[in-house]
Structure 1
Amino acid sequence: MGVLQMAIVILLLLLIVKPLGSYIYHVFSNKSNKTDKVFAGIEKIIYSISGIKERPGMTWKKYTMSLLLTNIVLVAVGYVILRLQKWLPLNPSQIDNMESTLSFNTIVSFMTNTNLQHYSGETGLSYFSQMSVIMMMMFTSAVTGIIVAIAFIRGITSKGATIGNFFEDFIKGHTRLLIPMAVVVTLVLVGLKVPQTLDGTIQITTLEGEKQEIATGPVASLVSIKHLGTNGGGFFGVNSAHPFENPSPLTNVIEILSMWCIPAALTYTYGRFAKNQKQGWVIFGAMAILFIAFLSLIYISESNGNPAMNAIGLSSEQGSMEGKEVRFGTAQSALFSTVTTAATTGTVNNMHDTLTPLGGITPLSLMMLNTVFGGDGVGLVNMLMYAIIGVFICGLMVGRTPEFLGRKIEPREMKLITIALLAHPLIILGPTALAFMTELGKGAISNPGFHGISQVLYEYTSAAANNGSGFEGLGDNTPFWNISTGLVMLLGRYVSIIALLAVAGSLVKKQPVPETIGTFRTDNILFVGILVGAVLIIGALTFLPVMALGPIAEYLSIR
């Protein structure tokens, strides 16, 4: 039954990929289409208010600068609100202002689409902060990732010297994509009993006669965009394990598909831009192979249970249920954990800290690779980066100048790709080592064994991959962790964005090279294998040694 449940959800995703991917293509193709009739009038008003009269194409430098400045302004506004929320409206529970280093961490977290939470949602933020800062950034950060992918796709598939207009893409991403989808999902969740209210806490009398306050709020609207935008920050501290955020197996499936659909559909969008749909399916196929492999690992591991518990006769037919909700079981918990780290969403319906050692390898590995569907836009761009690496290596092997989609891949592009490739492990492994060298880092570890290494490694991996989930046994709400993970989130987000937009800017100016009999094809099954191999080999060379110190050593020690 568990395998059948997961297979049905994967089949539902496959049915979504083509129509949603085509719709995203029409949104960003800059060609007249049916969506103009619905949204053009609204966008014209926004352009007028914003003073954007003309929307010419931008070079990669101008596009990147516009992106960075917009993000900086949003960060500044959000930080001020968090520091002043005590005196702002919509604060029925009289929640105090957020501490400075925690405010820094929180605002960086949500602007970088990470949504790492070092606070408990229902007690750390007012309704005004939840809606004006958290939900606002869930939209803007997700749109930022999507349009970076679109700009990169334009760079490697179109002719000219520009990759689009940032402000036009940014507004269309909101008006035509995320806001309409979020409204629909919100209404569905409300119909399935997820709360949506501005009232304060509910006071009830317990069986013992004591008074208890139950937090509610605008939950459904936040849950919808946290998944559609691959954000992940929960309204409540326990995220989608909370029955108000995720009350049933049906809402669980809706949330899984919500966070998975846009990253998967973007592969089809890429095929439409490339005018060769096989190119999109090759990327999707490579991602799917890696996804199913890691899903199998976590499901089998969690189904077999904890070896230490099995050894003393406490095994369960349901597998390892520690930290999992009975209403979801092992299958939907394993699938949720795989999707949320593959799509770098970070939302959780079970506590990853309680996964078996081999089960914990799946979320760690998917965030380290950061290419298996990935967050909105990010995963596709990273997989295309590996595609260029694969073409470059194959070109060197046969003594031919590498080409990708008719563009020659030369030293400039490879240097930029190398920066993006090496930055990711550097900002994971460096801070992890630093945390173990100081009491400020080691003092947060709740488990002194190999699992403690996994806790620290997971925290920085999650921050670098802009994921946001955590091994929550780590006491991370301290100035050391707030500042260090905040810096890692910034570097993890913007170093790769800048480098890869520079690659797009370089490629878009090149004259396409005609395809010949000697051109290495990138739209067949062979290239799927090359892609999968490149991702696994580079990932293993980079991260396998530290994995051996954490989850692998923990697994061996409890057998």
Structure 2
Amino acid sequence: MNHSAFFQIALYMVVLTVLAVPLGLYINKVMSGEKNVLSWLLQPVEKFFYKIFGVDAAEEMSWKHYAVTLMAFNVLGVIVVYALQRLQLVLPLNPQALPGVGTDSSFNTAISFVTNTNWQSYTPETTMSYLTQMTGLSVQNFFSAATGLAVAVALIRGFARHTVQSIGNFWVDLTRGTLYILVPLSFVFAVGFLSQGVIQNFDAYKTAQLVEKLDYTIPKVDAAGAPINDAAGKPVMEAQSTTTQTLPMGPVASQEAIKMVGTNGGGFFNANSAHPYENPTPFSNFLQMIAIFIIPAALCITFGKMVGDKRQGWAIFAVMAILFVTFAGIAIVAEQQGNPMFAKLGLDQAMNSAPAMSQAGGNMEGKETRFGIAASGLFATITTAASCGAVNSMHDSFTPIGGMVPLVLMKLGEVVFGGVGAGMYGMLIFAIMAVFIAGLMIGRTPEYLGKKIEAFEMKMIAITILIGPLLVLVGTAISVMVADGKAGISNPGAHGFTEILYAFVSAANNNGSAFAGLNANTPFYNTMLAIAMWFGRFFIIIPILAVAGAMARKKRLAATAGTLPTHGPLFVALLLGTVIIVGALTYIPALALGPIVEHLTMIAQ
């Protein structure tokens, strides 16, 4: 790793830590109902919402009531987003007169945005109207992030409380998370993006004159739109040319802000954060990376404050930081080393080679020159450590090891800071698992934060840990066996397998990024991935709420000489080991069939 990459990682961690502390304390005040710096402005709005929707803010819910309310709200969200897509042709704010979206694509997209996945199998700028983007997709960016935040806070309350039956009120948590946290942060970041040149308008698309005529070829189709093939079965190509280019417009900065702050990831444009209208400068790129992690990092501080021991929060933060820096270093080094197969072509990818015979310091395929390898590798690590999925480079073009880093981070359950709320409740599940393993080793009933970990909690935790691998491995296995699944592969061999594996890992873990070589906009993949997204989200949330309810009912035990401290270096090391062993080793056979064998093939050539 060169000095530039080291500096970027170090600067990022310093800025993130400095911002996380005050934000974490602020989140604690907001979610605890205490007065905060925005109460004078937003408390009347909060009370107004409770009044018109008939919510009693003082009434708390059991975990079952909380879960049913959460599920009903999210099912309603799916229906609304689906309807907006299907009816957008007859709705306003559609200057391009874009038609209604197809059935399977609408179904996939509705579930995608409600589950905080933002998987996009379509081209946004040619598919979604401004109204659909704003009132459907952007609104769900707020609500899906607020849902994850609410679940994390409910679980923390379970540890902080004792001998009670309630874990909070979902409507109150959802409202406060959206109104006090997501909206103000999104406003601040939107202004920052606007200052860097991210567009924000409602204009019709612009037509720009090219400097010179562009010649290109496209597959020839018949009157019905079906491709025409020659005698050998290959597509017949026809020549085309143009002297103009269509430039899409739209309210991008506002959606960009919540896309990052809410760890959603769905881009206004198909190229996502590699598009200059979404991410024009290195500084906007840095802002986007900070926006992705700022709430997940702050929740570590919130956790320590809510449970009454700041050291607990810093222990979780330390585990996340160690894993993040390690994986970021692996990804950047892999990309800086480049592809050794280029050497046979006389092309040197080393940093110090002659400019006429080299690329810019390694594997630059699929990366923007305004960001380079270090910022691209760092962004890829951040977006897949969190459940974000926004990309400023094409992961499909990474080296096998560089591309394996995003895969592994998602397979860990995205607990390395992770998504808004999702990273925290995911890491706390691993923390419970860690103390359970420690208790087995010494023959003592495991405890975490003074609460005994018993059979019911471990059953719920087993479900949360196993549901992801079940969805990923079964979905991938089906897709590589059936014709509809294999039809979407663009690359043969190990890389083609990795494209499918990556899609299901991304969907089941609610990330949304993709190895772009897979054609997933088909009824088969739209349906299969929608199933993975839905169950990957809510079959984890419901058991976690069950754990929160069980913890809240338990008495808090006093620490004794035999109690395992969960705030020191020993616990940090134990938790690190648990995350790696339990979270990653499940997928070793699948990784061996994909990126590992691809890497071995590459270096053996």
Counterpart of 1:208 in structure 2 is 212
Check if 1:177 corresponds to 2:177: no
Instruction: Look up the match of 2:317.
Output: 284
Counterparts of 1:403 and 1:219 in 2: how far apart (Å)? Answer: 47
Output aligned runs, 1:87-102, within 5 Å.
Answer: 87-102=90-105
TM-superposition CA deviations, 1:290-335 (whole Å, max 9, x none):
1111111111100000121234332323110000000000010010
Q: Structure 2: which amino acid aligns with 1:442?
A: K
Give the Cα–Cα distance (whole angstroms) in 2 for the partners of residues 310 and 258 of structure 1: 39
Q: Tell which deviates more after alignment, 291-300 or 95-104.
A: 291-300
- Amino acid of the structure 2 residue aligned with 1:485: L
Residue 85 of structure 1 pairs with residue 88 of structure 2: yes
Does the alignment pair 1:258 with 2:291? yes
Instruction: Indicate which of 527, 532, 543 corresponds to 2:576.
Output: 532
Distance (whole Å) between structure 1 residues aligned to residue 442 and residue 498 of structure 2: 42
Q: Does 1:359 find its partner at 2:369?
A: no
Q: How does 1:118-137 map to 2 (within 5 A)?
A: 118-137=121-140
Measured in 1, the distance between the counterparts of 2:344 and 2:313 equals: 47
Displacement of 1:33 = 4.1
Partner of 1:437: 481
Aligned residue number for residue 543 of structure 2? 499
Cα distance per residue 1:115-140 (max 9 Å; x no partner) = 00000110010001000101010000
| Aligned equivalent of 1:296 | 329
Secondary structure at the counterpart of residue 212 of structure 2: coil
2:558 is the counterpart of 1:514: yes
List per-residue Cα deviations over 1:236-285 (Å, max 9, x = no partner).
Answer: 00100000000010000000000111111111100001111110011111
8 Å CA contact retained: 1:27, 1:35: no
Q: Which residue of 1 aligns with 2:236?
A: none
- The answer on 1:546 being equivalent to 2:546 is no
Q: Which has the larger radius of gyration?
A: 2
Does residue 193 of structure 2 align to residue 193 of structure 1? no
**Length, aligned pairs only:** 559
Contact 1:305 / 1:315 at 8 angstroms: preserved in 2? no
CA distance in 2, matches of 1:315, 1:465: 38
**Structure 1 portions without partners, runs of 5+:** none
Q: 2:365 aligns with which of 322, 326, 331?
A: 322
Structure 1 residue 226: Cα displacement: 0.2
State the one-letter code of the partner of 1:194: V
The AA in structure 2 aligned to 1:162 is: S
Report Cα offsets for 1:155-185 as digits up to 9, x if no partner: 1111322111111111111110101111111
Please list the CA deviations of residues 84-132 of structure 1 after superposition, one character each: whole Å capped at 9, or x if unmatched. Answer: 0011100001111000000000000000000000001100100010001
* Structure 1 contact 6–335 (Cα < 8 Å) conserved: yes
Once the 2 structures are TM-superposed, how far is the Cα of residue 34 of structure 1 from its aligned partner? Answer: 4.2
Structure 2 distance, partners of 1:34, 1:325, is 40
Code of the aligned partner of 2:135: S
C-alpha distance in 1 between matches for 2:195 and 2:547: 45
Q: Report if the CA contact (8 A) 1:299-1:334 is conserved.
A: yes
Query: Partner of 2:253: helix, strand, or coil?
Result: helix
Q: Is the 8 A contact 2:264 2:390 kept in 1?
A: yes
Does residue 47 (structure 1) correspond to residue 50 (structure 2)? The answer is yes
For the aligned residue pairs, the C-alpha RMSD in angstroms reads: 1.0
Using the alignment, how far apart are the partners of 2:58 and 2:95 within structure 1?
43
Percent identity reads: 46
**1:431 and 1:500 mapped to 2: Cα distance?**
24
After superposition, where does 1:425-504 map in structure 2 within 5 Å?
425-504=469-548
Q: TM-score, normalised by structure 1?
A: 0.99
Tell me, in whole angstroms, the C-alpha distance in 1 between the residues paired with 2:97 and 2:584.
Answer: 49
Preserved contact between residue 302 and residue 334 of structure 1 (Cα < 8 Å): yes
Pick from 248, 254, 257: which aligns with 2:281?
A: 248
TM-score, normalising length: structure 2: 0.91
Match of 1:168 among 163, 168, 172: 172
Tell me the equivalent position of 1:109: 112
Residue 32 of structure 1 deviates from its aligned partner by: 3.8
Equivalent in the alignment of 2:32: 29
Deviations 1:445-483 (A, max 9, x none): 011111011100000000011000000000110000000
Q: How many Å separate the matches in 2 of 1:117 and 1:197? A: 22
Q: Which runs of 5+ in 2 are unaligned?
A: 214-242, 352-360
